[in-house]
């Protein structure tokens, strides 16, 4: 049995820790079977091949929730680079939870998601569901609350380009640098951007969605980790992007527009001009986890 879990764009502009959406590539794939002892083998990007692998962490969390001590033998094909900003830890966490759910016959969405978030807790030092939740559903998701877990879903299916520069930004580091308080005017601005973006999304008005891809909660502070941000953003907009922003905690960036392939090419060329190699993923949003 195999499960494929796609990358995600968390935050999606003004929705820090609340908005997220699944994208078609890259993705992790996990094959698994019940076993007498825990084992994970990894191909692709290197992550731990022991109990520190968060696919094991979340699989164990799900088994514990139902009082089982089942172990799995897993083979992880790691297609999403860690410390990328496109939900690498979230994808593997969800894959592990889904694997255990399949073996134990658990179909409760909330249980699977909460188990997956335990993997995120280990990877990033805090529980945030804005990778695992959109990775599960694929839809554009809005997390209203965690207790109780209340999620709003907006089906989406538009083109996006994700560009991943050869830079690493651990999510944990990108969260540590955030202030515990922000100016009221910035909170109000983000409220306005987020509410307006949801309405534009519901109307499939992508030009307006693009215009609203700003953020005053995390981006102003994280730019210190991405000195290149404004240069790349300007190049994307000049290439015709409706909007551009950082994916998750970065360094991956994304853009929407008429010709996302051309926009992605220009973004990669801009990085290249700074001697930074970048991978370009021209894909679509709205891709959730799939069994095959
Ligand atoms: N299966 C896994 N997939 C991704 N990261 C893993 C996995 N197992 C352990 N890790 C560790 O979790 C951390 C994930 O880093 P993080 O910055 O959260 O990635 P991302 O921002 O891409 O989600 C890394 O230190 C990585 O080595
Ligand atoms: N809301 C989180 C999202 C982290 O996403 P990742 O893909 O960088 O792990 C944050 O901004 O810290």
Distance, CA of 220 to CA of 145 (rounded, Å):
25
Ligand nearest to the CA of 247: 2
Distance, CA of 220 to CA of 222 (rounded, Å):
6
**pLDDT (average), residues 3-25:** 98
Decide whether any atom of ligand 2 lies within 6 Å of the 85 Cβ.
yes
Assigned CATH for 2-154:
3.30.230.10
Decide whether any atom of ligand 2 lies within 6 Å of the 11 Cβ.
yes
Q: What pLDDT is recorded for position 104?
A: 97
Ligand nearest to the CA of 124: 1
Nearest to 233 by CA among 247, 220, 224, 246: 246
For residue 266, report the distance from its CA to the centre of ligand 2, in Å. Answer: 25
Distances (CA, A) of 188 to 10, 213, 214, 260: 20, 15, 13, 31
- 111-159: per-residue pLDDT in tens? 999 999 999 999 988 889 999 999 999 999 999 999 999 999 999 999 9
User: What is the model's pTM?
Assistant: 0.97
Question: What does residue 132 show for φ and ψ, rounded to 5 degrees?
Answer: -65, -35
**pLDDT (average), residues 89-105:** 98
Residue nearest to atom 12 of ligand 2 (CA): 249
Q: What is the ipTM of this complex?
A: 0.95
Per domain, the residue ranges of the chain are 2-154, 160-282
- 180-239: per-residue pLDDT in tens? 999 999 999 999 999 999 999 999 999 999 999 999 999 999 999 999 999 999 999 999
Q: Cα 77–5–171 angle (5° rounding)?
A: 85
Query: Which atom of ligand 1 lies at the shortest distance from residue 120's CA?
Result: 18
Decide whether any atom of ligand 1 lies within 6 Å of the 14 Cβ.
no
Ligand nearest to the CA of 222: 2
User: 160-282: which CATH number, 3.30.70.890, 3.40.109.40, 3.40.50.300, 3.50.50.60?
Assistant: 3.30.70.890
Distance, CA of 44 to CA of 165 (rounded, Å):
17
Decide whether any atom of ligand 2 lies within 6 Å of the 171 Cβ.
yes
Q: State the CB neighbour count (10 A cutoff) for residue 277.
A: 11
Decide whether any atom of ligand 1 lies within 6 Å of the 11 Cβ.
no
Helical (H) or strand (E) element with 93: helix 88-104
pLDDT band at 160 (very low <50, low <70, confident <90, very high): very high
Query: Which atom of ligand 1 lies at the shortest distance from residue 53's CA?
Result: 8
């Amino acid at each position: 049995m195999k499960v494929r879990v796609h990358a995600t764009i968390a935050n999606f502009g003004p929705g820090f820790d609340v908005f997220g959406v699944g994208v078609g590539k890259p993705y992790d794939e996990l094959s698994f079977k019940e076993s007498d002892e825990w084992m994970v083998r990894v191909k692709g990007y290197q992550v731990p091949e022991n109990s520190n692998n968060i696919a094991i962490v979340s699989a164990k969390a799900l088994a514990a929730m139902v009082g089982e001590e089942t172990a799995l033998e897993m083979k992880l094909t790691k297609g999403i680079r860690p410390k990328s900003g496109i939900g690498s830890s979230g994808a593997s966490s969800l894959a592990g939870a889904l694997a255990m759910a399949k073996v134990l016959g658990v179909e409760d969405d909330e249980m699977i998601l909460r188990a997956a978030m335990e993997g995120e807790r280990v990877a990033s030092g805090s529980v945030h569901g804005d990778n695992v939740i959109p990775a599960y559903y694929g839809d554009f998701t809005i997390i209203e609350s965690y207790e109780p877990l209340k999620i709003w879903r907006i089906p989406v299916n538009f083109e996006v380009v994700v560009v991943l520069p050869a830079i690493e930004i651990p999510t944990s580091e990108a969260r540590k640098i955030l202030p515990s308080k922000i100016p009221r005017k910035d909170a109000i601005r983000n409220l306005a951007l987020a509410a307006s973006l949801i309405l534009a999304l519901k109307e499939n008005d992508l030009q307006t969605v693009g215009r609203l891809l700003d953020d005053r909660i995390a981006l102003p502070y994280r730019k210190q980790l991405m000195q290149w941000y404004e240069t790349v953003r300007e190049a994307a907009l000049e290439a015709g992007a409706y909007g551009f922003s950082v994916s998750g905690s970065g360094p991956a960036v994304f853009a929407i527009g008429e010709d996302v392939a051309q926009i992605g090419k220009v973004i990669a060329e801009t990085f290249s001009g700074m001697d930074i190699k970048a991978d370009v993923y021209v894909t679509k949003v709205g891709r959730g986890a799939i069994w095959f």
